[in-house]
Amino acid sequence: MEGRPQRGYRAIHPAGDAREDWTILRAFSELTGTTLPYDTLDAVRERMAEIAPAFSAANRISAAEWQDFGAAGDMSGDPFVNSVSDFYTTDVISRASDTMAECSALFVTGEQGKTGTDG
């Protein structure tokens, strides 16, 4: 968010036949007949820096080039409206869960009823 590219470092060597992502893409490029010219991670990083110079300054904030953005227009006096009608089903796992759908419906509608602890 602040324009600071960071490097990720391998914590451990891949187990068994596992590979780092860049080596998988490199091997796949060979199979497609368009072999990528990167034989090391440093070569990949050098190419990234050629395409996007900010990547050559890892862990440093690069000044952004300011440009015009947005458009002039009339402001409405209408209040802001939350575009999310049910926060509890905003992710795919919750939406696919029958139990979460039932719980969410009860919570959102306020029809939970009383439990034994309500007296």
Per residue in 25-75, pLDDT (tens digit) is 999 999 999 999 999 999 999 999 999 888 888 888 877 778 888 888 888
Q: What is the pLDDT of residue 87?
A: 82
The chain-wide mean pLDDT, for the chain, equals 85
Q: Parse the chain into domains and list their residue ranges.
A: 21-56, 87-112
Of 22-26, 87-91, 92-96, give the lowest mean pLDDT range. Answer: 87-91
* In the chain, alpha helices (H): 21-31, 41-51, 92-96, 98-109
Quick one: CA torsion of 62, 63, 65, 67, rounded to 10 degrees?
A: 120
Q: What is the pLDDT of residue 113?
A: 62
Q: What is the pLDDT of residue 23?
A: 93
